[in-house]
Amino acid sequence: MVRATFAGFQTALTALQANSKKLDVTSQNLANMNVEGYTRQQLKTSSLNYENPTSFYMNENDVNVGFGVSMDAVVQLRDKFLDVQYREQNAPTSYNETIEYSLNAIGNYFDESNTDGIRQSFDDIQKALTTMQDTSKVQDPVYEGQLQSTMDATCVLLNSAARTIKTAEDNEFEKLAGAGTSENGAVETINTLLQEIGELNQLIKHNQLIGNSALELQDERNLKIDQLSSYIPISVESFSDTYEVDGKTRYRIYNYDANGKVCGRSDWPEDLRINLNYTTTDSTGARVNKSITLVNGTYKDADGRNYGSVKLTERAANTETGQKEIKYTKWSSTKPATTGPLDVQLDFISVATGEKGGPKTADTITTANSASKRGDGTVRFNGGSVQASIDMLAKSDPNGTATSGLKQGTYYGYDYYMDQLDNLAQNFAFEMNVYNHMGNNWNYPDVTAEKAKTNAETALEDVAENNNFLMLVNRNTQTAQSTVSKDATTGNYTSMTSEITAENIALSANWVNGSTKVGLKGSDSNETILNMLKSFTQPHELLGDKTFANYMNTLSTKLANDQSNNKDALDTNKAVLNSISSSKDQISGISLDEEAANMMTYVSSYNAAAKVMNAFDETLQSLLAIV
């Protein structure tokens, strides 16, 4: 039996069409090889075969031959497993990158490996006091000027370090809020990404329902999801619309037979859902993993949205201004009356839709980093730049002593280092002022240095009334009100409150203009200098039983350890992320060499199909000539 006259032409035609389409896809890949987020495309084909068995009346010598090639769809070469790995790894990497930037912002004033800093300035004061031990030099203008110079240098360094930390705090807050910047903060960026992903979900599904795969729109959505994963830890899942038949749930992505059993895949497209993952504490105190939905496919809530949102938590009205504070929180009453962008809290609000778009109360989680809630119900993200900023802005213990102010997250935050600097400045000023007060007023009841500090409140009340004896003061008030608390049982000093901070500590104006002098009273005229010198060599309880210089060493070491540990974690996470990204590029990226080779293959195949068609034409012409 002679086959259908034009069957060969049809087979050759499908080959021509398929190879032509493959050339179009190759051209599209090459055109977009430098476009961010573009995924390599490929024409998916299948063989056109007989669907029915051989006819009963067909010649027994006849052999079934297919009818060519079918162009099924243009698809993306993308590995969903690698997408999941990439997004999971992107969150911790972004966390460490943000922490690195934040720690480096304050590291210059604590790293004294290459430059002299606060620790060296205390050594310089000690040297100046050592030189003044000679009684003839106690009130010598030259040597006293040298002491003033070294103390002033220390104050300036403390001031600069405090301002650096406050600036870093403000910048860190702006990363979240975007206040005062030309760039969007994380809150606005996340909200924008959620909205755009939700809108893309609807647009993609609409295109898929009318037969357009919308691959470029999927690339755009994937790019935004990858970007979102750097801010917060997310998981992405596909799900299907559902409908009810006889009280049973069916999925639109499947076809069902008369008995309600799945008999194949339908053309109905899936939806995409994005969940925010976090950990919290359950009723038993155990840490548990939870999630809320931030993008829910194409389902819309009562407000017409299919995406959730994030916002900064508004705080209660300020007792001084009567206005709500979003950015700032007041210090505890045991701290000076200053403000800072600390303990930032964010509300993450899920999209309020049910599984099938029905009404549902929106889930809300609030990040809580206050000292009273650490480790107790705190919502925490396992990565992401948002969690890094929250950790760095977590408020330290308000007393600011060496044994308190523990870190909230993985690393010590800005407020911890500010507390420690304040603690150092307060103790330094307290020691100098008390000893100089003693040297100018030796006749008050407790004449020894330790007794003076034991009765610090009495001593410093006198100091407050006689500011001419102060050496170090609050720059703004030129006073140095301080109170030291002591444990009644152990006799140990527990905390100090003072109007002096690292930001405002300065030389007394009276000492600078000569009204205040280094004290000469005591068993010898150099008693004041010797007491001051002793304070630089002996440990202080309120500094964790460390000297001034060793206290700074410890603080610098903590920061260096945090930087080193974070760098190790960052290098590891980057290596893993780069490996995953490389694997993704091998599958989804455009290789110029590979596309060029494909192009030559498709051209050769196209030419071969054309020759087949030409051969069929010659055969047909031979048959027609016989006739």
| Position 423 in a domain | no
- Is the residue at 412 inside a domain? no
User: Which one of 138-142, 200-204, 286-290 scores highest in mean pLDDT?
Assistant: 200-204
CA 501 from centroid of its chain's CA atoms: 30
Name the average pLDDT for the chain: 82
Q: Is pLDDT above 70 for 574?
A: yes
pLDDT at 506: 95
CB 430 within 8 Å of CB 470: no
Residue 189 has pLDDT above 70, yes or no: yes
pLDDT at 334 over 50: no
Q: How many CB atoms lie within 10 A of CB 86?
A: 21
Instruction: Give the single-character DSSP code of 134.
Output: S
SS3 145: helix
CB contact at 8 A, 370 and 150: no
For residue 239, pLDDT over 60 is answered with yes
Determine the structural domain holding residue 12 and report its residue range.
7-77+589-626
Report the pLDDT value the prediction gives residue 220, as an integer from 0 to 100: 95
State the DSSP code for 258. Answer: T
Q: How many CB atoms lie within 10 A of CB 26?
A: 23
Phi, psi of 411 (to 5 degrees): -130, 155
* Lowest model confidence (mean pLDDT) among 124-133, 188-197, 339-348, 428-437: 339-348
Give CA–CA dist 422/430, Å, rounded.
12
Q: What per-residue confidence (pLDDT) applies to 60?
A: 58
Stretch 293-309: mean pLDDT = 88
3-state SS string for 325-378: CCCCEECCCCCCCCEECCCCCEEEECCCECCCCCECCCCEEECCCCHHHCCCCC
Query: What is the per-residue burial (b if ≥16 Cβ within 10 Å, else e) of 579-606?
Result: ebbeebeeebbbeeeebeebbeebeebb
What distances in angstroms separate CA 393 from CA 12, 185, 232, 489, one per listed residue? 69, 15, 17, 35
pLDDT value of position 50: 61
pLDDT at residue 493 above 90? Answer: no
Q: Are 296 and 273 in contact (CB under 8 A)?
A: yes
Per-residue pLDDT band for 193 (boundaries 50, 70, 90) equals very high
- Report d(CA 568, CA 8) in Å as an integer: 65
Give the three-state DSSP class for 535. helix
* Strand 482-486 relative to strand 346-349, pairing: unpaired
Return all residues near 245 (Cβ < 8 A) that are at least 6 apart: 256, 260
CA-closest candidate to residue 193, choices 237, 220, 225: 225
Q: What share of the chain is helix, strand, coil (3-state, %, to 5)?
A: 45, 15, 35
Min mean pLDDT across 23-27, 177-181, 300-304, 476-480 is at 177-181
Averaged over 295-299, what is the pLDDT?
A: 90
Asked if the structure places residue 605 within a domain, the reply is: yes
Distance CA 575, CA 582 (A): 10
Q: Which helix (H) or strand (E) holds 251?
A: strand 248-251
Asked if residue 132 has pLDDT above 80, the reply is yes
Task: State phi, psi for 560 to the nearest 5 degrees.
Answer: -65, -40
Helix (H, G, I), strand (E, B) or coil at 572: helix
pLDDT for res 438: 80
Q: What is the pLDDT of residues 55-109, one digit of tens each?
A: 555 555 566 677 888 898 999 999 999 999 999 999 999 999 999 999 998 887 7
| Cα atoms in the 13 Å half-sphere on the side-chain side of 106 | 33
What mean pLDDT is predicted for residues 561-576? 95
3-state helix/strand/coil string of 94-124: HHHHHHHHHHHHHHCCCCCCCCCCHHHHHHH
CA distances to 45, 72, 94, 166, 415 from 406, rounded to whole Å, are 62, 61, 24, 19, 10
What are the two backbone dihedrals, phi and then psi, of residue 221, each rounded to the nearest 5 degrees?
-65, -45
Query: If you average pLDDT over residues 127-155, what whole number do you get?
Result: 90
Mean pLDDT score, 197-203 = 95
The stretch 221-226 carries a mean pLDDT of 96
d(C-alpha 389, C-alpha 555), whole Å:
21
CB under 8 A, 24+ apart: contacts of 396-399: 396/371, 397/371, 398/331, 398/332, 398/334, 398/335, 398/371, 399/334, 399/495
327 pLDDT above the threshold of 90: no
68: which DSSP letter? E
How many domains, the chain? 1
CA distance 624 to 627: 5
For residue range 349-389, what is the model confidence (pLDDT) as tens digits? 998 776 655 567 778 888 865 443 444 457 889 999 999 99
pLDDT band for position 303 (cuts 50, 70, 90): confident
